[in-house]
């Protein structure tokens, strides 16, 4: 999976976590990042640089997730009071149409990447729709 695909997946996962668990504290991810950095340092002392590099990568993702979660929680109250899942589903259909156009233009690699983003977007919309229905039925 290309790096941009991983980044998009991480951002969508964070977005879904924010809406699934609105009271989730972002400091958990930041504390996890600090813990993983400490473990990475210990792996370097034990002369395991490959493992230390992998753990440092996970620490980076955890820290990035915590910061994005903090930003989303800070600005969600003011800018996005209620996000509709149909926006994601419509965007996924638009991306699928764009993917088909890329296939017609004989750009299969780009079409495949766009179709992957459409899959992530559609999955996010469906999960968000399930979360919204669950919240409506519980409260």
Alpha-helix runs per DSSP H in the chain: 3-20, 27-45, 49-79, 85-104, 108-138
HSE-CB of 104 using CA atoms within 13 angstroms: 6
Q: Report residue 11's pLDDT band, with 50, 70 and 90 as the boundaries.
A: low
pLDDT at 90 over 60: yes
* H-run or E-run covering 81: none
Q: Report residue 80's pLDDT band, with 50, 70 and 90 as the boundaries.
A: very low
* Percentage, residues of the chain above pLDDT 90: 1
């Amino acid at each position: 999976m290309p790096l941009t695909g991983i980044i998009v997946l991480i951002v969508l996962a964070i977005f879904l976590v924010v809406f699934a668990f609105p009271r989730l504290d972002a400091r958990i991810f930041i504390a996890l990042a600090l813990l993983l950095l400490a473990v990475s340092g210990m792996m370097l002392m034990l002369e395991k640089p490959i493992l230390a590099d992998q753990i440092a990568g996970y620490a980076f993702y955890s820290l990035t997730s915590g910061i994005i979660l903090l930003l989303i929680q800070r600005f969600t109250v003011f800018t996005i009071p209620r996000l509709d899942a149909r926006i994601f589903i419509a965007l996924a259909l638009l991306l699928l149409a764009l993917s088909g156009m890329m296939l017609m233009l004989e750009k299969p690699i780009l079409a495949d990447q766009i179709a992957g983003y459409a899959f992530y977007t559609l999955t996010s919309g469906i999960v968000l729709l399930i979360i919204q229905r669950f919240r409506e039925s519980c409260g």
